[in-house]
DNA sequence: TTTGGTGCAAAATTTTTGCAGGCTA
DNA sequence: TAGCCTGCAAAAATTTTGCACCAAA
């Protein structure tokens, strides 16, 4: 999880410039606290403190953060592409920290910290020779509160 | 995996009409054979045998197939939303058949049939009360042939 | 015949790009 | 100062919608 100081170092080391826009976008994502923002949401949040920012800059900065592997792209199939700070550690090796639980009734997204995929990854490596560097796991279902609300019969709100 | 006969029965039972367009779109997906088509690709393929079809019909039929849980939506983050026939069985209970391996060098998508997620799903159920009905697992990395091509040093082509 | 489904075109969304000017290093 | 970066607006790409007509039941 990259902080501002590290981010500045990364930019410097690549010969990239340190701008308010870049720092503010990273800050929004760093303070997301479990939320997953879309480009538009990031744009709106940055505008609160820096109204002159353009949406194109947000798109360009997000692409930059993706290229630098500082953030990850996630798609919850709600029509928006969302982003979150990558959990990748400086020493690399383990990028496997959490999975997403998506409630089909209320649309809420929960994070679950745990990695139990080593077995599966080993099997894939052995059987297919595929070298895994990262994974994305999404579980669709019904959250506790939606199950209780409907007495066990949960109704889908979205596909 | 739904075949044409079953599809017709499902449509009938819901009071929906059986049209050439619907049958042809299902046929394209049923013959995809491991490939994952985007809306545009489905449109182009159906046009070969039914040139008068409109793109809007493809979008509407795909939404219908999603609602009926005959197909699943997949996003490989290449800018296109893709679809594949759902593996869901008639008797329900198990929808957990395969995962996707996405090569970051050549972009190819491989499928891996295996489910070793029961342990993780049980844990999630127990700890969070979240009732899982389906999951989507994507592994990013480098396929065997790309590893060999580059002598073990694989170069990313895309994020 | 009735109703749902389709094709077309327009509209709405989301994302990318070109360019002149501004800011970081 | 040089060149990267930004904002704006236009363009491109993807998806949805309205409507008149057509076709399945």
Q: Calculate the average pLDDT of chain A.
A: 88
Distance from CA of A52 to the nearest CA of B (A): 28
Protein CA at A12 to nucleotide C1' at C21, angstroms: 24
Instruction: Decide: helix, strand or coil at residue A44.
Output: helix
Does the global pTM surpass 0.85? Answer: yes
Strand D and B94 CB separated by under 7 Å:
no
pLDDT at B54 over 80: yes
Protein CA at B60 to nucleotide C1' at C5, angstroms: 10
Q: What is the pLDDT of residue A90?
A: 45
pLDDT tens-digit map of A128-152: 999 999 899 999 999 999 998 866 5
pLDDT tens-digit map of A16-66: 999 999 999 999 999 998 899 999 999 999 999 999 999 999 999 999 999
């Amino acid at each position: 999880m990259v902080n501002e100081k590290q981010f500045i170092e990364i930019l410097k080391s690549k010969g990239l410039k340190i701008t308010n826009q870049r720092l503010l976008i990273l800050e929004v994502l760093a303070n997301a606290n479990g939320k997953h923002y879309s480009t538009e949401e990031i744009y709106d949040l940055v505008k609160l403190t820096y109204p002159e920012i353009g949406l194109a800059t947000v798109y360009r900065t997000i692409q930059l953060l993706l290229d630098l592997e500082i953030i990850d792209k996630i798609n919850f199939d709600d029509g928006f592409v969302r982003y979150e700070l990558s959990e990748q550690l400086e020493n690399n090796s383990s990028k496997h920290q959490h999975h997403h639980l998506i409630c089909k009734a209320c649309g809420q997204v929960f994070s679950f910290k745990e990695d139990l995929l080593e077995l599966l990854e080993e099997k894939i490596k052995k059987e297919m020779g595929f070298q895994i560097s990262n994974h994305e796991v999404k579980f669709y279902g019904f959250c506790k509160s939606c199950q209780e609300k409907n007495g066990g019969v949960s109704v889908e709100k979205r596909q």
